Amino acid sequence: MGDSASEGLTLFSPYKMGSFNLSHRVVLAPMARCRAPNEIPQPAMVEYYSQRSTPGGLLIAEATTLSNTSAGCPRVPGIYKDEQVKAWKKVVDAVHAKGAIIFCLLWHAGRASHQVYQPGGGSPISSTNNPISNRWKIPLPDGSQDSFDGIEIHGGHGYLIDQFLKDGINDRTDEYGGSLANRCKFLIQIVQAVVEAIGADKVAVRISPALDFYDATDSDPIGLGLAVIDRLNTLQHKEGSKLAYLHVTRPRFTTYGLVPTEFDEEREAQFMRTLREAYEGTFMASGGFTRELGMEAVASGDADLVSYGRDFISNPDLVLRFKLNAPLNKYIQETFYTDDPVVGYTDYHFLNKESV
């Protein structure tokens, strides 16, 4: 964008996100960490999120199931039972004690699940009866609400809502399939329902129009993104209040290096800029950002907020390291999804005070 309003802004400039006053623009991205046996948040999760909390910082909690059919990988936390809600409250209280803000990412994997996660071993629900191709490996088990500040609705990354949005998957012939308007309907109805329950300013949406994760392809990614944004803008006008933010994953995002991108840097930048200029509200970008790329995105006006994933896993004090332009710990990918409550989870080193 490069407008005058964004000149001089950095990742460390304060930002007013509706009723939330953020002290900086470095956001903890939601990431599955598989440390919640029986779908119940554990004490290690309290420490993990507390470590990454800063006064006025925004955290987005990992993908959280909203029913017993939602899970797409082992040991993910839920929030549909009283014991889960009580366990999450300990996490939220620890984050709030640090002066930070935390949103819950509500998630349903749809066909990106497996019978082992479904009640009675049934088939996962989706917008289609066609299974995911053999290119994707669904991780299998290895044997083993109201306290949040807001909710992010996961409408991307090949999960259930994305399966309705993408014409490469959605083969329905009813009011939820076919045209762009029909394919957007499921998402907008969900957003409307959550807005009615907790208020628009506490609701966020995540989309990934250009990602083909779990075979979630679309013949016109930019058209899909703009169609979703047009409907979100309309909803905001109708409510007389803006949503908390729109969270968009850049085309270059990859998982395990399996997702090739057809977007070069120029096309990618234009893709994100087009969506950013169309959306009437706070725009959060994610996917492969470095400190320098995040600074550029904020300074140019291409993003209001930038979320970081893997670097935040291995650097609980990422905000401080970015401020000092200090070296980062390297993440160990082999420990991302284990059940160990310490190794690769809460044992990454903080900056030595002497080095500061």
* Residues annotated catalytic, as ranges: 159
Q: How many CB atoms lie within 10 A of CB 290?
A: 13
Q: Say if CB 45 and CB 91 are below 8 A apart.
A: yes
Owner of token pair 């997702």: 259
Backbone angles phi and psi of 199, in degrees to 5: 100, 140
79 Cβ contact partners less than 8 Å away, ≥ 6 residues apart: 64, 65, 66, 85, 88, 104, 106, 145
